[in-house]
Homo-oligomer: A and B are copies of this chain.
Amino acid sequence: MTTTRHACLERDARDPLAPLRDAFALPEGMIYLDGNSLGARPRAALERANQVVAEEWGNGLIGSWNEAGWRALPERLGNQLARLIGADDDEVVITDTTSINLFKVLVAALRVQAERDPSRKVIVTERSNFPTDIYMVEGLADLLQQGYSLRLVDRPEAFPAAIGSDTAVALITQVNYKTGYLYDMQALTAHAHECGALTIWDLCHSAGAVPIDLKAANADYAIGCTYKYLNGGPGSPAFVWVAPALRELVWQPLSGWWGHARQFGMETRYEPAPGIGRYLCGTQPITSLAMIECGLEIFARTDMQALRAKSLALTDLFIERVQARCGQHPLELVTPLEHARRGSHVSFEHPEGYAVIQALIERGVVGDYREPRIMRFGFTPLYTRFVDVWDAAETLGEILDNETWRQERFMTRKQVT
């Protein structure tokens, strides 16, 4: 299939999601393909920040915990997010960070397994999982000194076979941050359950990017961040979901006063709240938390099926254009071609990946780089246009043809989260 820039403009003109781009404040002249790392700013977020800081904090002061609804934000925003991941009302809270929430659900899952079958001591995850997931397991295993260990899987296809009778938990990041590989949540959960393992799904690179149905998949625990495809703002708090059947079985150990059954009872014994509220711990950063709503409200104007269809069209087009325009260069696609296995970002390896990404950024095409050699390009159907995809591939082609990247090669490496 061949296409033209003009055909891309026509696709944008026909795109039913195109009007949603206006909900975002995007810098003039930039093609932003890094929404998989930090989502763009919803226009409404500026007004919301002003409202929180000037009115709610400045004028409402302490009264705003009740009157401006600050206290209920983790649950209220959790309900708005729930519909994007196949959870029901009162099943999700937005709080803390992905790493901290992982610690909570990991302990919970291990406690459930310790009751069911204490011989299960293995946590299975991908070797190429985002490092914090691996580090948090290490930190917990080292803390407990109860013989827990990690089993690191080298290829996604090898994941099912790595879950066995010794496995307590399968910790799966649904979309791999490097390759964009998308796991089949329903199939892998079913397989894990057959093996007697519980599943923790890290949705950092899939929430807001692909349709997710935690309940239909019979998943056990899920965590994820809100600042990538959900456009919550830099470092906005993360979310946590626990299957209702598991939720009240155990405590999570970060048992701060926000998770207490009677937060203001000022008691001297901890008693976890019923429901997902027991996954709260301390006081949350309200300004950063409140802005998450602005991103979630944009999702309420569409649905994940429409977003998924456009996401696949965008990533198909990018793969096709890069292969057509840059085929003579040493680029290797590391993202699956199969739709069912692809998230919403596309990665290519290039021997000079870091320098090439820097050259692209210099020319206004913002992707990012991940060790080793991986150039990542994220496609956010809410604001990425087909013509952006065309132009990005063209710019990449020019940089590779002209070896523009050579001048970036010896710059100090800067890294972003």
Binding site for B on A (CB under 8 A): 25, 27, 30, 32, 34, 37-38, 40-41, 45-46, 49-50, 52-54, 56-59, 61-66, 70-71, 96-100, 103, 107, 127, 130-132, 134-136, 138-140, 142-144, 152, 225, 227, 233-238, 251-258, 260, 263-270, 281-289, 291, 361, 366, 368, 370-371, 413-417
With A62-B416, A254-B100, A268-B127 in contact, is A235–B132 under 8 Å at CB? no
Q: Which residues of B contact A132 (CB under 8 A)?
A: 256-258, 282
Q: Which residues of B contact A152 (CB under 8 A)?
A: 268
Q: How far is the CB of A393 from chain B (nearest CB, A)?
A: 20
11 A/B residue pairs, CB under 8 Å, sorted by A? A41-B57, A49-B49, A100-B254, A100-B256, A131-B257, A132-B256, A138-B270, A152-B268, A234-B285, A235-B289, A285-B289
Question: Is B57 a contact of A281 with CB atoms below 8 Å?
Answer: no
- A101–B34 Cα gap in the complex (Å)? 31
For A232, the closest partner residue in chain B by CB is B285
Q: Which residues of B contact A63 (CB under 8 A)?
A: 361, 366, 416
Question: Is B142 a contact of A266 with CB atoms below 8 Å?
Answer: no
A25-B58, A41-B53, A144-B144 known; 19 new pairs, CB 8 Å cut-off, are: A38-B57, A46-B50, A53-B233, A57-B234, A63-B361, A96-B97, A98-B282, A107-B143, A130-B257, A132-B256, A132-B282, A134-B268, A139-B251, A234-B286, A235-B283, A235-B286, A286-B288, A287-B288, A288-B288
Question: Is A284 a contact of B62 with CB atoms below 8 Å?
Answer: no
Q: How far is the CB of A326 from chain B (nearest CB, A)?
A: 23
Question: Is A131 a contact of B268 with CB atoms below 8 Å?
Answer: yes
Q: Which residues of B contact A361 (CB under 8 A)?
A: 63
With A99-B281, A256-B132 in contact, is A265–B371 under 8 Å at CB? yes
- A270–B414 Cα gap in the complex (Å)? 21
Q: Which residues of B contact A139 (CB under 8 A)?
A: 251-256, 270
Q: Which residues of B contact A366 (CB under 8 A)?
A: 61-63
Q: Which residues of B contact A40 (CB under 8 A)?
A: 58, 61
- A131–B271 Cα gap in the complex (Å)? 11
Q: Which residues of B contact A255 (CB under 8 A)?
A: 135-136, 138-139, 142
